[in-house]
């Protein structure tokens, strides 16, 4: 059921896991929108106007109103388009979902960056941290189909874009996500069976190629 | 809903005071448990094993952690009494955005301005003042960030209204004053004159003594404290 929502624009960057969260949420709700690819090294006047505070993607522009910060955007999408709810209805369950999405936000990206940017002891520490973070998330997933239980939910949306980075983390950190966290890998595969996810995420090798470009830019290796 | 409401907090923590402020605004009674952060209780470690921090909110024995997550939980569980989030989805998104801005940008920059020195301090001070100007812009002639009544962003900015002043005094720097941030300054006056806010304040003298002692300890060991 596609809803031709008037004036929904997403300012985004192809490989951004934060942008992908928004793409997945919009797709889960069947919302049609205009995707605008931003060049992060030459930001458009529209982006700078829509997000003057952070000047970052993603930005969702709905009926002319800009919303920034990916988890704020996903919650907004969930509230405006109430079909296929991403957050549970029970306040305690919602709090748990917000906690884990916040955990992903605070931990994964920063640790992942340390993994590809640093060397030696610092990289080793990043590797240990990443494994610990992934194990904690796997613990929360347990034997559930999704973090949201039987239904694909808020934490799944928040975390699944990072699954496309697992290959890069493994390669930079010299470990195996499958070995350390087999349930997470199985969960990621299940998520990829959803069109909203498979159409939003990029091939892990492409992501790793992108990390290669970043490394060159930062003079790493 | 007569389930037990408990809060594990620390008298000096702006984050646990946020939760207290929200509870008092909504007229919710709660049992408060003071945590010694240098010697964390088994209860704290049990209910917040991942971050091991205050505040920990317990409702009917079930824990909720991370202060902004707790505020949303309180808002959703006790509807009707002094709403701290707007009903309109766009306005709610704005409230969430600005609360996150306070947490991720304003507070760390102010905190670091007060504990660093030299060039590093100068950079943090510039960042702080910029962030405060940006935040000030969001007030847009309103009495509070929440409009006519204290809302989530005001509660999040509690640190700016109270702790920031104490820290500036300890560090001997000025970040917020009437000249540089007149609108924010006015908001601080308005916010701090609320009787409920006054109930939730840790005494200024106590905070001052605590931070001054901390500064002396750093000077003595020459260790960075971030």
List the structure tokens of B146: 């929440």
Residues B119 and B25: their CA atoms lie apart, in Å, by 41
Residue of B nearest to A136 (CA): B50
Domain boundaries defined on chain B: 5-77, 89-221
3-class state of residue A35 by DSSP: strand
> How close B1 comes to chain A (CA, Å)?
13
B157-213 pLDDT tens trace: 999 999 999 999 999 999 998 999 999 999 999 999 999 999 999 999 999 999 999
Q: Specify the DSSP element, H or E, that contains A36.
A: strand A34-37
The reply to whether A110 touches chain B by the CB within 8 Å rule is: no
Residues B17 and A74: their CA atoms lie apart, in Å, by 28
* Predicted ipTM of the assembly: 0.94
Give contacts of A90 with chain B, Cβ < 8 Å.
Answer: none
Sheet containing A34-37: give its strands across.
A34-37, A8-12, A59-62, A65-68
pTM (two decimals)? 0.95
The reply to whether B97 touches chain A by the CB within 8 Å rule is: yes
A159-209 pLDDT tens trace: 999 999 999 999 999 999 999 999 999 999 999 999 999 999 999 999 999
Q: Which of A22, A55, A56, A72 to probe by mutation at the B interface, max B CB count within 10 Å?
A: A72
Residues B185 and B187: their CA atoms lie apart, in Å, by 5
Give contacts of A65 with chain B, Cβ < 8 Å.
Answer: 90
**How distant, in Å, are the alpha carbons of A110, A182, B47, B193 from that of A212?**
17, 26, 41, 55
Give contacts of B90 with chain A, Cβ < 8 Å.
Answer: 62, 65, 67, 76
Q: Is B13 exposed, middle or buried (0-12, 13-18, 19+ CB in 10 A)?
A: buried
List the structure tokens of B183: 């609108």
> How close B194 comes to chain A (CA, Å)?
28
Residue A3 has pLDDT above 50, yes or no: no
**How distant, in Å, are the alpha carbons of A89, B59, B82 from that of B151?**
23, 22, 9
Residue of B nearest to A81 (CA): B89
CATH of region B5-77: 3.40.30.10
Count of helices and strands (H, E) across chain B: 12, 4
Please name which of B37, B32, B59, B56 lies closest in space to residue B46, comparing C-alpha atoms: B56
- pLDDT score for B226: 58
Q: Specify the DSSP element, H or E, that contains A67.
A: strand A65-68
User: Span A40-55, mean pLDDT?
Assistant: 96
CATH of region B89-221: 1.20.1050.10
pLDDT confidence tier of residue A4, bands split at 50, 70 and 90: very low
């Amino acid at each position: 059921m596609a809803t031709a929502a008037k004036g929904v624009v997403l300012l985004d960057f192809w490989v951004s896991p934060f942008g992908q969260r928004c793409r997945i949420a919009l797709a889960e709700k069947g919302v049609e929108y205009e995707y605008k690819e931003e060049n992060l090294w030459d930001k458009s006047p529209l982006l700078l106007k829509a997000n003057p505070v952070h000047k970052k993607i993603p930005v969702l522009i709905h009926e002319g109103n800009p919303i920034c910060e990916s988890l704020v955007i996903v919650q907004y999408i969930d509230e405006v388009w109430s079909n296929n709810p991403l957050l549970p209805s029970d306040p305690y369950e919602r709090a748990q979902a917000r906690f884990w999405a916040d955990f992903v936000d605070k931990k994964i990206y920063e640790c992942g960056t340390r993994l590809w940017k640093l060397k030696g002891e610092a990289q080793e520490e990043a590797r240990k941290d990443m494994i610990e973070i992934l194990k904690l998330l796997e613990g929360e997933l347990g034997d559930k189909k999704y973090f949201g239980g039987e239904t694909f939910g808020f934490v799944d949306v928040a975390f699944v874009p990072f699954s496309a980075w697992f290959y890069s983390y493994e390669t930079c950190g010299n470990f195996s996500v499958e070995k350390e966290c087999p349930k997470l890998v199985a969960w990621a595969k299940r998520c990829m069976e959803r069109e909203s996810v498979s159409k939003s995420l990029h091939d892990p090798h492409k992501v790793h190629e992108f990390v290669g470009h970043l490394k060159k830019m930062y003079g790493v290796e | 809903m007569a389930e037990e409401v408990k809060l594990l907090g620390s008298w000096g923590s702006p984050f646990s005071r946020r939760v207290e402020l929200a509870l008092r605004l909504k007229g919710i009674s709660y049992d408060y448990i003071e945590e010694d952060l240098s010697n964390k209780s088994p209860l704290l470690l049990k209910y917040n094993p991942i971050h091991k921090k205050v505040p920990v909110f317990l409702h009917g024995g079930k824990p909720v952690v991370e202060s902004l997550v707790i505020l949303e939980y309180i808002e959703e569980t006790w509807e009707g009494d002094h709403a701290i989030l707007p009903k309109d989805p766009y306005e709610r998104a704005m409230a969430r955005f600005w609360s996150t801005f306070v947490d991720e940008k304003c507070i760390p920059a102010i905190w670091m301005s007060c504990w660093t020195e030299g060039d590093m301090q100068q950079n943090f001070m510039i960042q702080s003042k910029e962030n405060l100007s940006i935040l000030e812009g969001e007030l847009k002639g309103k009495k509070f960030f929440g409009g006519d009544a204290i809302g989530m962003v005001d509660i999040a900015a509690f640190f700016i209204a109270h702790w920031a002043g104490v820290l500036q005094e300890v560090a001997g720097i000025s970040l917020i004053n009437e000249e540089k941030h007149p609108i924010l300054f006015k908001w601080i006056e308005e916010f701090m004159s609320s009787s409920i806010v006054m109930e939730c304040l840790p005494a200024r003298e106590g905070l001052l003594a605590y931070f001054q002692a901390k500064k002396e300890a750093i000077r003595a060991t020459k260790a960075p404290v971030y």
